[in-house]
């Protein structure tokens, strides 16, 4: 549903051009969980040890950004401030903007850097009706702005304020274009408040955003649909802190990214508040509203682990969920400390066809765990796939969507290593099979670091085999090339150096070269960008199967 403008933006004096981000660089997924005893809770409180309560009195948590986030903000500001500014005629209409992503040209917006989102949703108990919502965005301007473009495309806007003063607004493409009553100088702090609806019913057969479950709602915003839920700068290059507040009728439980800070009751409703302690990309936001139970347990080093399950299924799902702490420990042994304040699995009673690594609370279809046709080892390896994304993709996010191979290749890599360690499904056998198919994958979807753009209306089409097993094959070749020890050092250094930030393929190439002590530029050029798959180091006998050709008529 298009925006319903309530007023018209006044003519702009200046407006930033789209930022051309460097392009040097979920959803095949059935692909994170581990081990401990669980307890249940239907309201949001946070505990390091297993406990059971019927009401919640959560402890308050802070949300101070890390130094890495500050560096990222400065880097984004410098990039955006370098954009050439176009002088527009006084009568120039509002138009959609973007940050110049090769795969999603109109995603994100230049001219500002978001520091935080405050999202408030009111759910009336019917997942076919729009939620009432208020989105507050705090941001720095990186150039002078007479207009502010936000990504938002599936709700009605009632009012907009900038720094507490009413602002005019209109729509352009999938942008909400806001015109404050006075220009905003470069380097100024601004607060944008949008009162709007958030519609859970998909429009024009475009899936994503809200996912309707049998008892409520969840979110699946990857890659480019967070702006179907709330106004935002919907690109992973602009990570921010989040506070999420959900008001729902009694009998429902709401859970979101981060840790709970408040659970307040007002009449026949409950207000649930959660806050992240690390910056997050919009595509990783998660809100669950349902007749759910929250199961709590303690992970490594006292990490709070909480899972959200349909109350009626808690006993059947517990054998799977209790595996989470041990799986976290397994990942930590390979790449270092878990990067966030909590983790858990959201079991959704919905038919999505994928699993998704939403930050600190991975989304899974409940049927993945209840369908007997799926082997146990397979389900557990898919749990580790989503868990490993917390390091690769969530903590270290892609600067552009062409860097997607860094997310999915690594998650597939650790999924495969786990299947080898726990079920004897050898990595060599999987990679040999991937090598045989690699040329076909490249022909269909492009090389791993230069995926072909998605077709119109098929935005999740970038999630092809070339960025899953095809990208894991690149990591396998790299380990063959530089040796196991250097490879494992690289993996730990990567997630440590770029924690809470964004990174590119070029960053990975530079770090791999530094760790190995030699220039790997040529190696990566062939493996990441070539039309054909290079020879596999150490396995000259491996052969790729040529892509099928269509006869010319």
Q: Answer yes or no: is pLDDT of 484 > 60.
A: yes
Burial 231-260 (b: 16+ CB within 10 A, else e): bbbbbbbbbbbbbbbbbbeeebbbbbbbbb
Convert the pLDDT of each residue in 165-203 to its tens digit: 999 999 999 999 999 999 999 999 999 999 999 999 987
Find which of 53-67, 109-123, 444-458 is predicted with most confidence, using mean pLDDT.
109-123
Cα-to-chain-centroid distance, residue 443: 27
Q: How far apart are CA 363 and CA 349, in angstroms?
A: 11
Instruction: Please name the residue that has the structure tokens 């709007």.
Output: 196
Q: Which of 499, 513, 390 is nearest to 71 (CA)?
A: 499
Q: Is the pTM of this model over 0.85?
A: no
| Per-residue pLDDT, 548 | 58
3-state secondary structure 503-528: ECHHHHHHHHHHHHCCCCHHHHHHHH
Q: Which of 195, 198, 193 is nearest to 228 (CA)?
A: 198
Sort 552 into a burial class: Cβ within 10 Å, 0-12 / 13-18 / 19+.
Answer: exposed
| Per-residue pLDDT, 205 | 60
Convert the pLDDT of each residue in 459-479 to its tens digit: 667 999 999 999 999 999 999
For the chain, how far is it from start to end, CA to CA, in angstroms? 43
Q: How far apart are CA 358 and CA 433, in angstroms?
A: 30
Token pair of 44, please?
């949001």
Range in 23-32, 225-234, 353-362, 498-507 the model is least confident about: 23-32
Token pair of 250, please?
């009694």
Q: How far apart are CA 184 and CA 163, in angstroms?
A: 10
> What is the arithmetic mean of pLDDT over 146-154?
95
Phi and psi, residue 402, nearest 5°: -70, -15
Q: Answer yes or no: is pLDDT of 258 > 60.
A: yes
Q: Under a CB-based contact definition with an 8 Å cutoff, are residues 7 and 170 in contact?
A: yes
Convert the pLDDT of each residue in 308-318 to its tens digit: 999 999 999 99
Q: How far apart are CA 525 and CA 486, in angstroms?
A: 20
Q: Which of 277, 278, 306, 274 is nearest to 119 (CA)?
A: 274
Q: How far apart are CA 397 and CA 38, in angstroms?
A: 31
Range in 37-41, 200-204, 532-536 the model is least confident about: 37-41
Mean pLDDT for the chain overall: 85
Convert the pLDDT of each residue in 325-338 to its tens digit: 999 999 999 999 99
Q: Under a CB-based contact definition with an 8 Å cutoff, are residues 9 and 147 in contact?
A: yes
Percentage, residues of the chain above pLDDT 70: 80
Q: Which of 334, 342, 360, 338 is nearest to 304 (CA)?
A: 342
Looking only at the bridges linking them, the beta strands covering 168-172 and 131-141 are unpaired
Range in 29-43, 234-248, 307-321, 439-453 the model is least confident about: 29-43
Residue with the larger pLDDT of the pair 63 and 336: 336
Q: Under a CB-based contact definition with an 8 Å cutoff, are residues 454 and 474 in contact?
A: no
367 contact partners, CB below 8 Å, separation of at least 6: 351
Phi and psi, residue 280, nearest 5°: -145, 140
> What is the arithmetic mean of pLDDT over 513-533?
97
Looking only at the bridges linking them, the beta strands covering 148-151 and 175-179 are antiparallel
Token pair of 71, please?
């560096």
Q: Which of 295, 270, 324, 303 is nearest to 53 (CA)?
A: 295
| Per-residue pLDDT, 527 | 98
Q: How far apart are CA 295 and CA 288, in angstroms?
A: 14
Q: Under a CB-based contact definition with an 8 Å cutoff, are residues 143 and 83 in contact?
A: yes
| Per-residue pLDDT, 6 | 28
Residue with the larger pLDDT of the pair 14 and 220: 220
446 contact partners, CB below 8 Å, separation of at least 6: 452, 466
Q: Which of 201, 203, 214, 273 is nearest to 56 (CA)?
A: 273
> What is the arithmetic mean of pLDDT over 299-304?
97
Residue with the larger pLDDT of the pair 59 and 532: 532
Convert the pLDDT of each residue in 350-407 to its tens digit: 988 889 999 999 999 999 999 999 999 999 999 999 999 999 999 999 999 999 999 9
| Per-residue pLDDT, 403 | 97
| Per-residue pLDDT, 7 | 28
300 contact partners, CB below 8 Å, separation of at least 6: 325, 328, 329, 332, 338
What stretches of 106-174 adopt beta strand conformation (E)?
A: 112-122, 131-141, 148-151, 157-162, 165-166, 168-172
The string of DSSP letters for 384-451 reads: HHHHHTTTBTTTEEESSGGGHHHHHHHHHHHHHHHHHHHH---HHHHHHHHHHHHHHHHHHH--TTSP
> What is the arithmetic mean of pLDDT over 140-161?
96
């Amino acid at each position: 549903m298009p925006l319903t403008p309530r007023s018209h933006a006044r003519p702009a004096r200046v407006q930033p051009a789209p930022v051309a981000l460097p392009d040097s660089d979920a959803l095949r997924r059935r692909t994170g969980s581990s081990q401990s005893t669980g307890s249940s809770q239907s309201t949001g409180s946070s505990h390091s040890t297993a406990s059971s309560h019927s009401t919640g009195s959560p402890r308050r948590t802070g949300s101070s950004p890390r130094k890495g986030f500050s560096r990222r903000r400065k880097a984004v500001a410098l990039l955006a401030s370098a954009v050439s500014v176009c002088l527009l005629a006084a009568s120039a209409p509002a138009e959609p903007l973007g940050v110049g992503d090769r795969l999603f040209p109109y995603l994100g917006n230049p001219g500002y850097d978001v520091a935080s989102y405050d999202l408030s949703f009111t759910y009336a108990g019917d997942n076919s009706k729009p939620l009432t919502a208020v989105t507050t965005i705090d941001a720095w301007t990186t150039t002078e702005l007479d207009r502010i473009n936000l990504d938002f495309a599936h709700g009605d806007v009632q009012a907009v304020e900038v720094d507490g003063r009413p602002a005019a607004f209109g729509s352009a493409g999938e942008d909400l274009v806001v015109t404050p009553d006075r220009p905003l100088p470069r380097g100024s702090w601004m607060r944008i408040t949008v009162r709007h609806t958030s519609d859970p019913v998909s429009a024009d057969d475009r899936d994503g955003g809200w996912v309707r479950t049998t008892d409520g709602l969840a979110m699946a915003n990857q890659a480019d649909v967070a702006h179907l839920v709330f106004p935002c700068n919907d690109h992973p290059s602009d990570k921010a802190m989040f506070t999420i507040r959900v008001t729902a009728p009694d009998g429902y439980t709401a859970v979101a990214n981060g840790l709970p800070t408040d659970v307040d009751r007002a009449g026949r409703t409950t207000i649930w508040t959660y806050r992240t302690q690390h910056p997050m990309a919009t595509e990783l936001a998660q809100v669950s509203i349902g007749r759910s139970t929250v199961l709590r347990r303690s992970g490594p080093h006292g990490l709070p682990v909480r899972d959200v399950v349909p109350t009626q299924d808690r006993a059947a799902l517990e054998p799977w969920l209790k595996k989470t702490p041990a799986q976290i420990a397994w990942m930590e042994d390979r790449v270092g400390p878990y990067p966030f304040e909590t983790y858990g699995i959201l079991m959704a009673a919905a038919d999505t066809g994928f699993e998704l690594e939403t930050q600190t609370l991975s989304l899974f279809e409940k049927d993945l765990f209840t369908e007997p046709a799926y082997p146990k080892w397979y389900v557990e390896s898919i749990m580790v796939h989503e868990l490993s994304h917390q390091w690769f993709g969530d903590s270290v996010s892609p600067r552009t969507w062409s860097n997607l191979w860094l997310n999915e290749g690594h998650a597939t890599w650790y999924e495969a290593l786990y299947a080898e360690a726990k079920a004897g499904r050898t990595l060599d056998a999987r990679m040999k099979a991937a090598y045989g198919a690699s040329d076909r994958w490249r022909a269909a979807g492009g090389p791993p670091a230069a995926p072909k753009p998605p077709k119109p209306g098929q935005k999740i089409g970038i999630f092809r085999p070339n960025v899953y097993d095809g990208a894991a094959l690149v990591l396998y070749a790299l380990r063959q090339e530089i040796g196991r020890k250097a490879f494992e050092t690289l993996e730990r250094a990567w997630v440590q150096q770029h924690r809470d930030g964004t990174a590119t393929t070029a960053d990975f190439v530079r770090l791999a070269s530094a760790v190995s002590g030699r220039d790997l530029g040529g190696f990566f050029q062939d493996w990441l960008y070539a039309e054909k798959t290079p020879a596999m180091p150490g396995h000259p006998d491996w052969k790729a199967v040529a892509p099928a050709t269509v006869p010319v008529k």
